[in-house]
Structure 1
Amino acid sequence: MIRNTCIKKNLKRLYILAIAAAIAFGLYTPGWTAGDTVKSSDVSIQVRATAVVKGDDILLGEIADIQAPDFLADGIAALELAPAPKPGKMNQVDGKRIRDLIMGHDLVDPEMRVTVPKRVFVKRDSQEITDALLKQEADHYLTGILGTDTYEIKQFSVRGLSVYPAGSLSLAMARKGELDNKGRFSFQLDVMVDDVKQDRLNIKGKVALYKSVVCAAGDLKRGTLITDADVRIQQIDIFRKGGDYLTALSDVDRMALNTNVSLGTCLEKDDFKPAPVVKRGEVIKLVAAKNRLSIVTLGVCKEDGYVDQPVMVENLQSGKLVRGLVRN
């Protein structure tokens, strides 16, 4: 930023010196109309009592109304008088000091009509970053992490925010933080004005992430074999609740609760165990098959049986105990 300012100042000095040299050597004869010679008394510089400036320096053209021919007016307007206030701030400058600064420049001579009030109030133009722009950057950051999931920013804070010079303002990602399992996030943004870094902001916040999970539709007891009527899908903030929640009704198919749950409880994998397909004492079919030959008889389960798991069965015809696999 310092290097850019120095370059601008040097260019302004070269511009002013070029005008002065052109006038001194007769290469340029400014006039109100083509061919007329300008008189110093025809030049008027009237400084206003209040003015707003944009850059790091107070330029005469920003605080005064200048009447002069052709680019002589541009040269006078480019004269630097003093450092400008900080963005958004105002300084009071003594009129005599301003007059002395004006008269001390090569392009100004005593015959020019220079009017300066007793005091001049100079304010530096500025701009602020809106909450909407910062929230937009936070949304962009979170979308990159959460994708299309539904979320809501619950807490949001910015450290380092200030007032900035006028110009083309933009924000650039400086450091991407992490989103933890509690929904807390942080990242840093660089504030740029006309592509020059002005500041670095620290952004922190907390987000709610909503997902559809399986919840109890009523009070359910341990051992309950879950049916569609026992559960429902509802959205919760998984960062607030935590846990390994089930997200589809099919996740509880053929499952039994291994704990008591109350109405509205969000259900996790650990809340369930596989439900027995056949229960102890239940009469079932016994099928013995080999090649294309099969024999079917009845038996009594001696224990609860689960799909694709072995179970002990008493053959009602022979009275013998046999072990077989439970099929759906």
Structure 2
Amino acid sequence: MTLLIVTGAMLVATSPAEASKQNTNWRIKIKSAAVVHGPRVTLGDIAEFYGDLPAQTRADLSAVELWNAPAKGRKPVTVNRQKLQVILQHYLGEMVRNCILPSTLSVQFGGKVLSEEELTRTVVKVLTPQAEKAGGNYKFREMRVPDHLFFEDSMDSLRVVIPQALKPGPNTFRMEVVSVDGRVLRQLSGSCFMDLWKPVPCPVRPLNRKEIITPDLLTWKNKNMAHLGDRVWDGKGGPWRIKIPVGTGQPIMLSSIEPAPVVSKGDKLSLVFQSKHLKLTVPVEALEDGGVGQTITVRNLQSQRKIMATVVNAQTVSVR
């Protein structure tokens, strides 16, 4: 009863109800998780004040006591929105209309709590150096972290562990609550999606099957590697030719190219047979395309026999 009288006196003195009618440019946002250090939960413990409220009014509202604090060392106490609405209506009256309420509020005695926003910032701080090493322009989205995380001791800290190298697309990580002496007290999993835009080679015009890729046929465009991964050609190596037609401006995938042959079907070549004591050279005709080191079928132009030979260069194949 004394609390109600004091609270009522405070409301009259600061005229917040009257102020709420004349000035609605303020809000009281109730947190989804909070830590208290006294015997009673106050509005200041669980609320954030926004907008045009006089400093004294904020101070008076912050001091309003709501209910008994949970016992030290016990699990956080959770209050749902409906019950929270009733409690705030009782103490704040019409001012409750300016309150933004969460679906639930969890309160712990002592320790500390990190909000979802704070957890996200901590994770991003750890992920950023690896993302920068990947080059290009990156963005994290679909961040999956808890709504809040309580720590029993204010000296406990949060450690973020990435089990595998960060890559474009979905990634997982582990959050560890670590004591001041280095012990892991609790582990939680999280995930996020990383978009990574990097320049990749794309045709300036449609490229057809068996067409040799030359620099003048390419331009570089930024593409999201999260949707391409390691399936896209990086523009290196070669020479290459098109195996599957690629449209204008489309990224060239590894599956769309193959090594350009140094020998083409119908080419006249020299077939070299070499053993420890003998070396023979005969003219042959290539019956299929082939790159250096590949085995192709050739026809001996003297005997007309077909032989499997390995491509050495553009003029020579060999058998052993």
Provide the TM-score with structure 2 as the length reference.
Answer: 0.47
Provide the TM-score with structure 1 as the length reference.
Answer: 0.46
